[in-house]
Structure 1
Amino acid sequence: MTTTDTDWAKSTPTTTTGWLARAAEVSALLAVDAVSRDREGKTPHAEVSLLKESGLVTLLGPVEHGGGGQDWPTAYRIVREIAKADGSIGQLLGYHYLWFWAARLVGTPEQILAVEELATKNRLFFGGAVNPRDDDVVITDEGDTIVYNGRKSFSTGSKVSDLTVLEGVLEGTDKHIFAIVPSDIEGLTFHDDWDNIGQRLTESGSVTISGVRVDWASAAGYVDKEFTPKVYNTLNVPTIQLVFVSFYLGIARGALETARAYTVEKSRAWLHGGQERSVDEPYVLDVYGDLTAKLWAVEAFADQVAAEGWAIHQDPDVVTERERGEHEVRVAAVKARATEVALEITGGIFEVTGARATAAREGLDRFWRNVRTHTLHDPVAYKRREVGVFVLRDEIPEPTWYS
């Protein structure tokens, strides 16, 4: 993986087409050694540097500060493109976009301006230590400052990030407070304990938070120690769920394209099938046609839901409970479909590549391992249930950390 022959420093894309082309260049570089990097499982400092050098980390940033000024539908497509080559790096980029954007959904106007200027001008990378399944991090009020103490079992990207989003509950209250801190701040300890079968390069290990002190002025959305919500409950959850959809679909496309190349270049026809070439085998044609059609359908659905979500983002201050709820139902539906089609494709490609395709050097297993690992994030059955409850009872989901 090298950027020697690129001229990214000479120009920044100014159009959606330009940004998608830039993402394709990055994806091609990541694909070169994706198999070996997955096997080695090293902390992806070089890969994150590539995202910075290419400017992809600034995609959602203000143009006046050197950012792309692009929208979420474009961001989702770029996450898909990167995940096609490397699911871990696609996830890291998608999470970065979410945490970069979070200030717009919960921060004060002054905080939004400050965060976006700082992060965009300096091409800073975001991680997050926010996991609702763990005990809440405890926040203590010390007058002008607040202090975070606790532990989170997942902190995706934080080890390779410049900034980390923290979240906790103010002691003695039910107030949740988000704050952005430098990832190298004293008191943050990222543990090297991410050892899962997939998404090996996401640095999703645990973090200990010991006495991390933040000014009240940095408490997102708080003025005089009181929170003023900008949006009905928050759009963070449906936005991150669409990020999940994006890298699931990207991984699925990467699996299908990699399998196609293998079939064309290496697969042999079955000796009793009556064909000389694997690409002429009727069952091979059927499987590729079936999997491709399913992927195309879910990609189109994902684009449609992304456009619906972006319409809500245009005026988030006035989004209603019903508008958010109906959008979340659509997000749940596409999350369910993306999960199922990604698992089907990443497992199904072996039916048409054959026994030799299971060789470790081919790395075809990484696509399934990556999808299988992250799709367990929250049970897909509950996504289908949200849709069913809406259809049968006209009830929208109650906003939670997962809906």
Structure 2
Amino acid sequence: MSTTLPADWTTLPAPTDAPGWIARAAEVSAVLAVDAAARDKAGATPYAEVRLLKESGLVTLLGPVAHGGGGQDWPTAYRVVREIAKADGSIGQLLGYHYLWNWAARLVGTRAQWEHVEAEAARNRWFFGGAVNPRDDDLVVREEGEDADTLVFTGRKSFSTGSKVSDVTVLEGVLEGTDKHIFAIVPSDSEGLAFHDDWDNIGQRLTESGSVTIDGVRVPWASAAGYTDKTFAPRVYNTLNVPVIQIVFINFYLGIAAGALETAATYTRTKTRPWLHGGHERAVDEPYVIDVYGDLTAKLWQAEAFADRVAEEAQRLHDDPDAITEDARGKHEVRVAAAKAVATEAALEITSRIFEVTGARSTASAEGLDRFWRNVRTHTLHDPIAYKRREVGRHVLTGELPEPTWYS
């Protein structure tokens, strides 16, 4: 891809409000869209794409203004993810996961820890990855050193989104002989951290989501997030990681769907031929074509509006993290589950049905329209949507709230 940046990204001040940052994301998206289909085919490590996110300032969106960050909130971050995913679902996912892991220090860390991490991340424009796949065995964490002042992480994870393009990686494991879960942020070039080039799936091909081996990665006890004198003080806020990442999913699904619809509409306007027996000179005048675009657009707008509403509800929890109750957390997760179900269904339908209104020639490999469906289909299998609907249904029928797990 071209690495030439618009001059104002480097010569003008960064945006100062949400509309400005969303507009900046749209500029980045336009750059990514130019060769998105070709980059999807090549499947190369997205170093240039991540550099684009850094140089545009998007990686620092949630960071403190005093240290060069954007000082924005989660609803803005989600909209930015959606905008980037319109052009490239993989890069939208990478950016969304980056926001999650950048925020992880605040999720579980002490104030001193997360203030330090957020300041350093903003100043240095760190890009975050994470090796925290809960379907695999936990990493084993052992104490070492004369005063047991060092933690040593060992194990393997099947997925590590961000891997080679990240500056730092979040690790999570269980302290040997205990039930203590420990998060730590380490440099991605740490000795003992090995990323493997084995991500070869039909969609989200540029997410660098391959496996990783963690072989004796050493971390000072003082860097264990949320621990003071080796003791962790739990809060309900610590359990918001799942709702946050699920809203990330929702937004890059909807971004991919919006990109598919926009790309298809351009194709229909410029390339689709009217049916020879339809009696119309242009495809855009075919009644069934008009109907499908109207139907799909209405479903997209409906899902986007719901997603935005849920994101605003989530922000109220972030605004007062010490006041969150288990009841408030559970009710929010039900809303997130419902939004996830709606977004998944809308994105799958939109990305598959666009071919009905673009025509047979649009299936040519050179057009790359299939990448939108492949991307959505691949990631929506992350956790079964039936279980999201179950969370909603149980709450409606019995008042039951989801128990916090890695997936709810």
| TM-score normalised to structure 1 length | 0.99
Instruction: Give me the whole-angstrom Cα distance separating, in 1, the residues matched to 2:238 and 2:99.
Output: 20
In structure 2, the CA distance between the partners of 1:337 and 1:52, relative to structure 1 (3 Å rule), is same
1:95-174 paired onto structure 2 within 5 Å: 95-142=97-144, 143-174=148-179
Contact kept? 2:264, 2:358, Cα under 8 Å: yes
Which residue of structure 1 aligns with residue 77 of structure 2?
75
Residue number among 24, 33, 40 corresponding to 1:38 in the alignment: 40
1:150-201 deviation per Cα after TM superposition (whole angstroms, max 9, x unaligned): 0000000021000000000111111110000000000000000000000000
In the TM superposition, residue 232 of structure 1 has moved relative to its aligned partner by 4.3
The DSSP-based 3-state class of the residue aligned with 2:207 is coil
Cα drift, residue 15 of structure 1: 1.2
The reply to whether residue 180 of structure 1 matches residue 181 of structure 2 is no
Q: Which residue of 2 aligns with 1:390?
A: 395
User: Structure 2: 5+ residue runs without aligned partners?
Assistant: none
> 5 Å matches for 1:326-365?
326-365=331-370
Q: Counterpart of 1:385 in 2: which secondary structure? A: helix
Give SS of 1:245's match.
helix
Show the counterpart of 2:27.
25
1:203 and 1:395, CA in 2 relative to 1: closer, same or farther beyond 3 A?
A: same
Is 1:315 the counterpart of 2:315? The answer is no
Q: What is the aligned-residue RMSD (CA, Å)?
A: 0.7
Mapped to 2, the partners of 1:5 and 1:16 lie a distance apart of: 20
Could you tell me which amino acid in structure 1 is paired with residue 351 of structure 2?
T
- Name 2:261's counterpart in structure 1: 256
Whole-Å separation in 1 of the counterparts to 2:164 and 2:182: 22
Give yes or no for contact 1:189–1:209 (8 Å, CA) kept in 2.
yes
* Partners of 1:242 and 1:211 in 2: CA distance: 33
C-alpha deviation, 1:26, in angstroms: 0.2
Tell me which stretches of 4 or more aligned residues in structure 1 moved more than 6 Å.
none
Aligned to 2:390, what secondary structure does the other structure show? helix
Deviation per CA, 1:241-292: give whole Å up to 9, x if none.
0000000000000000000000000000000111111001010000000000
Structure 1 residue identity aligned to 2:8? D
Asked if 1:63 is matched to 2:61, the reply is no
Opposite residue 108 of structure 1, the aligned amino acid is T
How many residues are paired up?
403
Partner of 2:316: helix, strand, or coil? helix
| Partner Cα separation in structure 2 for residue 69 and residue 234 of structure 1 | 23
Q: Distance in 2 between matches of 1:27 and 1:246?
A: 15
Residue 198 (structure 2) aligns with: 193
Give the letter aligned to residue 9 of structure 1. Answer: T
Distance 2:5 2:17 in 1: 24
Q: Distance in 2 between matches of 1:38 and 1:242?
A: 24
Displacement of 1:108 in angstroms is: 0.5
Give the letter for the 1:105 counterpart. Answer: L
Q: Separation in 1 of the partners of 2:236 and 2:402?
A: 16
Is 1:211 aligned with 2:216?
Answer: yes
Per-residue CA distance 1:312-347 (angstroms, 9 max, x = gap): 111111210000000000000000000000000000
* SS of equivalent to 1:168: strand
Task: Give me the whole-angstrom Cα distance separating, in 2, the residues matched to 1:357 and 1:270.
Answer: 14
Deviations 1:119-138 (A, max 9, x none): 00010100000000001110
The aligned residue for residue 3 of structure 1 is 4
What is the distance in 1 between the residues matched to 2:18 and 2:272?
A: 37
**Rounded Cα–Cα distance in structure 1 between residues aligned with 2:87 and 2:309:** 24
Cα pair distance change 1:103/1:233, threshold 3 Å: closer
Aligned AA (1:348): R
Are the aligned partners of 1:87 and 1:251 in contact in 2 as well (CA < 8 Å)?
yes
